[in-house]
Amino acid sequence: MNRIFQLALVLFSLLIPFHASAAPPNNEFITLNLPQTVLARIVNKMVPFDVNVSSRALKGAVSIISIQDIRLQNQQISCKLGLIGKNLRLVTEIAGHKINLNVGTVRLNFHTDARLRFDARKQILYIRPILKNNKRTAAKKADIGNALLAFISGRDFPVAIKKLKPLIADTNHKSVMIGMSIRNIEAVNGALKMSIVPSIHNINPTRVQKK
């Protein structure tokens, strides 16, 4: 993905005049679309990963082990998730006494839609699953399965986006630094759209050589 950013921004830098401390207006930004097929390959490299589901009613370790059938459309992602919960305990209260129901291992497979919300100031992408129909592999563990699904549905899961490194371009004995700031990330039909605001600055050539 970094190579895509670099290529797009280098091309951008060659198409505009260089001005010291030039900050573009809000409507001048670079748009990059990540196709859902590429996103699916990236996601497959990331699983499995742990999900923090600890609460008063539910204890244990939960991991997402598969993300399949990814579809991107207007402001929404749909997919099929596979979860596994280990050492799960359902905490209930009867007559003022807490009771721990040890369930053990639970596997869940279900379809979900998810809404995206990007906080540009914090550079955090929030993903909120909204569960659809689901099918559990162990019906006798329905209570813990429902508790797990209810906990995940409608909850924001934050994904921190690392700050993009600036590019440095040399031309006509001048060095220009192109800073990058992600303004928005959203789902469009068949792709994940990223809007990036560039900032152009002249820099001291000796500073570049030292680097």
User: Which pLDDT belongs to residue 60?
Assistant: 82
CA distance linking residue 153 with residue 132, whole number of Å: 9
Tens digit of each residue's pLDDT (9 = 90 or more) over 15-33? 333 333 344 455 678 898 9
Q: What is the mean pLDDT of residues 133-142?
A: 49
CA distance linking residue 82 with residue 106, whole number of Å: 11
**CB neighbour burial string for 173-184, b if at least 16 within 10 angstroms, e if fewer:** eebbbbbbebeb
Instruction: Tell me phi and psi for residue 6, to 5 degrees.
Output: -65, -45
Assigned token pair, 164: 């993009």
Half-sphere exposure of 108 (CA within 13 A, CB side): 28
Assigned token pair, 209: 């050589």
Tens digit of each residue's pLDDT (9 = 90 or more) over 68-86? 999 999 889 999 989 888 8
Tens digit of each residue's pLDDT (9 = 90 or more) over 88-127? 877 776 766 677 777 788 888 889 999 999 999 999 999 9
